[in-house]
Structure 1
Amino acid sequence: MNHTNSNTSDVIVIGGGLVGSAVSYGLARQGVKVTLLDEGDQAFRASRGNFGLVWVQGKGFGMTPYASWTRSSSGLWPRLAQALLDDTGVDVHLQQPGGFCFTFSDEEKEDRRQRMQAIQDELGGDYPFEMLDRQDVIARVPALGPAVTGASYTPMDGHTNPLKLLRALHAANLKRGVHYVSGQPVKQVQAEPRAGGSLFTVEGRWQAPRVVLAAGLGNRGLAEMLGLHAPVVPNRGQVLIGERTSRFLDYPTLNVRQTDEGTIQLGDSMEEVGFNDNVTTDVLANIARRGVRTFPVLAGLRLVRAWGALRVMSPDGFPIYQESPKHPGAFVTTCHSGVTLAAAHAFRVAPWVAGAPRPEEIGVFQGDRFLNPNYRPAHAH
């Protein structure tokens, strides 16, 4: 069904990146009438600057529900990839062979083991991982350099093509009748109390009884209008892309991956520099050095491009999911792992927005936690 001539819908989703597009897709699959408002290319496009990992290992240290939530999404990812292929013919090149995080000293390896063991213990053992010594790792990743002492490995990790993912989500939404509006920044959301809920009006034009804030860094200001708290700030990551080269890496790793197209991606920097998404030679040099230290075969690789992108980071690094207590029907969804969590957003958050019970794991991720002066979590990694 095509709703392009209507300004009313069941749900308005604000933000057309990976988070908003995945939630919209999940809603549309349930037959919900959705309007998706996308700011367009003038927005800070975190969805176009990420690393493409579907990553579980190490996440949730100090916040066990995040480990469960991330693993749930990883488990749902094959379903999402197949659904998008069926709807659009776009293969997002999901591969989940497991992933490695390499260590460069015995101390680093022991710290990694303790972190992984703590998460496994908190989850009652339901968190498979291996700590591998150098020879065990080389048996699976022969191109490793002499500086690598070992690695953690889990079978839960994988990667995808994030640009194809965003394209597939947009195409699938259009096919399923989502009213997609591009070039529409949102600065104003109004809530009018009604019997049994609220009527939300966005930019004085679009109306719906439910609204989802999935606007990334824009959620901070929009949340305040709806009685929600989303104190997100930008965190810059820089990425290097190397030319296509013969296949030498069959697994995703935390800092280096070889894409489905054969190019090499290097990254994993974190910088607090406000809204500056430029690249800097010192950070890129460190990324390149670490890449070559891990895989000496990269030493002669030509670099074809580099970029900086802004993560959407909460004060503790964990997501924010909440329905407004003041204006029921208004939801905020914010995270810095839009690729990893895309399946959870489509298949678990979207049903909640549509009226199903809230997923158990995300009850701890309300934005109100940051208003509690006694809240002292471990920071997400």
Structure 2
Amino acid sequence: MRPLKRSTGARSSFPVPSHFGGWAPGRGADVVVVGAGIIGAACADELAAAGLDTVVVDRTGIGAGTTGAGEGNILVSDKEPGPELALALLSRALWQRFGAELAAGSVPGTESLHRRRLGDPSTGPGDSGIALEAKGGLVVATGADGLAGLHQLAASQRAAGVVAEPVGPDRARALEPQLTPDLAGGVHYPQDMQVQPVLAAATLLRRARANGARLVTGRPVTGFGRDRTGRITSVRTPAGAIATRYVVNAAGLGAREVAALAGVHLPIQPRRGFILVTEPLPPMIRGKVYDAAYVADVASDDRTLQTSTVVEATDGGTILIGASRERVGLDPALRVDVLARLARQAIRLFPALTGVRAIRAYRGFRPYSPDHLPVIGADPDVAGLLHAAGHEGAGIGLAPATGLLIRQMVTGVTPELDPAPFRPGRPALRRVAVPAPTRAAPNGPGGVR
């Protein structure tokens, strides 16, 4: 792949029609990013910071797909040692740096937001404005076997650089006083964080635009122009074509369809999940709490329904209850039986939730990759095409590191960590046949953690 060098030319400042969202027909770019969710935003942020003329194209709007239906988790606790955990640790450090820069008011494009926050008595100089919080996570087990497996996982994670603190029942209840007393113990993960995902995506795109990136919303990608060698030379939209050297496919659930427009097989599949939301309550739950079965469910290849207990509070006082996983295509049905199961499981972990009213529920779809690793890097068959997709429920947490790897690949810089496990041409992706979706999702309908 031929790297692009940092742009030294001045960018045009001519006015453009508002319905093009920052791009006018006939103007090209160094890189076109397809998708304005958290992954696309992070890629655009890094590429624009490198001085590359970047255009972001999305068929709907910022964070309108999986990002908008996520909980905003930035987790290390649910990952076994290996490439995904290494990516998560790098990404967590980048989230911390971004939050510190936002709190200091030093992020280009967000100065007005910083001034507005300082004028709000509920915020202060240390507020990031994207609800970035090191809430910590507590993983619990109700039986001896589950606890033994949890301790074994924690020991391997510690060897990989994760802070994982075994706790007994008393310490677990000191961390979360409303927990059931019927616990064998757990592991506390103080490095787990959370962010408001749509705010985070929008803020990354603000910084990208301050660095010269342009945003085109309401325009699906309909195809690609190619030269005689097969290299991508442009991105087609209903508003016209955008000439480009590189395309980054960060379309979430729609990444498979975007890849297909280039004649590429990318087996990203939807994995449906539900979240139950309670009425606002007085402070009851301090961090994120989930049972040991959650880690196994995340790593499972099973197509059928799986549920585990995940409970956390929001700043508004509501409590989010999950989590379910099943591969049923893009079936939008809201299953009351699954919601009832999630509620029962949450009550077993937090008896104080008995009698609390649920005010809403929602469903979403995670972009699932067959080997549970994201797809990051240059396509082996189509020159000029890169992929940044298939993060399933970990996209929020892994976004900054994904964007950094894409930037380093495009500019020819040695990647921060070995990208080989995430390469698009790996055998696990080439041998998977994916059933056709039940309905089109060029940029994805929405997803959950």
TM-score tier by shorter-chain length is 0.7 to 0.9
Distance 1:301 1:177 in 2: 49
Aligned twin of 1:340: 397
Q: CA deviation at 1:226?
A: 4.2
Q: CA deviation at 1:9?
A: 0.8
Secondary structure, counterpart of 2:356 in structure 1: coil
Q: CA deviation at 1:281?
A: 0.7
Q: Which deviates the most, 365-374 or 271-280?
A: 365-374
Which of 341, 355, 359 pairs up with 2:412?
355
**Are the equivalent residues in 2 in contact too, given 1:277–1:310 (CA < 8 A)?**
no
Which of 29, 35, 40 pairs up with 1:20?
40
Write the deviation string for residues 354-377 of structure 1: whole angstroms up to 9, x where unpaired.
432334332111232225669xxx
Q: Which deviates the most, 46-55 or 180-189?
A: 180-189
Which of 16, 30, 34 pairs up with 1:10?
30
Whether 1:233 and 2:251 are equivalent positions in the alignment is no
Write the deviation string for residues 337-360 of structure 1: whole angstroms up to 9, x where unpaired.
221012213444333334323343
Whether 1:54 and 2:81 are equivalent positions in the alignment is no
Aligned twin of 1:200: 234
Secondary structure, counterpart of 1:331 in structure 2: strand
Secondary structure, counterpart of 1:338 in structure 2: helix
**Are the equivalent residues in 2 in contact too, given 1:28–1:173 (CA < 8 A)?**
yes
Write the deviation string for residues 281-316 of structure 1: whole angstroms up to 9, x where unpaired.
111111111222222222232222211000000112
Change (3 A) 1:69 1:43: closer
Change (3 A) 1:131 1:193: farther
Q: Which amino acid aligns with 1:220?
A: R
Change (3 A) 1:193 1:23: farther
Aligned twin of 1:109: 147
Whether 1:215 and 2:251 are equivalent positions in the alignment is yes
Distance 2:429 2:338 in 1: 34
Q: Which amino acid aligns with 2:144?
A: D
Distance 2:102 2:411 in 1: 21
Identity rate, percent:
27
Secondary structure, counterpart of 1:219 in structure 2: helix
**Are the equivalent residues in 2 in contact too, given 1:84–1:169 (CA < 8 A)?**
no
Change (3 A) 1:167 1:277: farther
Write the deviation string for residues 10-60 of structure 1: whole angstroms up to 9, x where unpaired.
110011111111111122222221111111169971111112111111313
Distance 1:242 1:361 in 2: 42
Change (3 A) 1:371 1:141: closer
Distance 1:191 1:359 in 2: 31
Aligned twin of 1:366: 423
Which of 46, 60, 63 pairs up with 1:40?
60
Secondary structure, counterpart of 1:212 in structure 2: strand
Whether 1:75 and 2:93 are equivalent positions in the alignment is yes
Q: Which deviates the most, 206-215 or 95-104?
A: 95-104
Secondary structure, counterpart of 2:94 in structure 1: helix
**Are the equivalent residues in 1 in contact too, given 2:405–2:419 (CA < 8 A)?**
no
**Are the equivalent residues in 1 in contact too, given 2:370–2:429 (CA < 8 A)?**
no
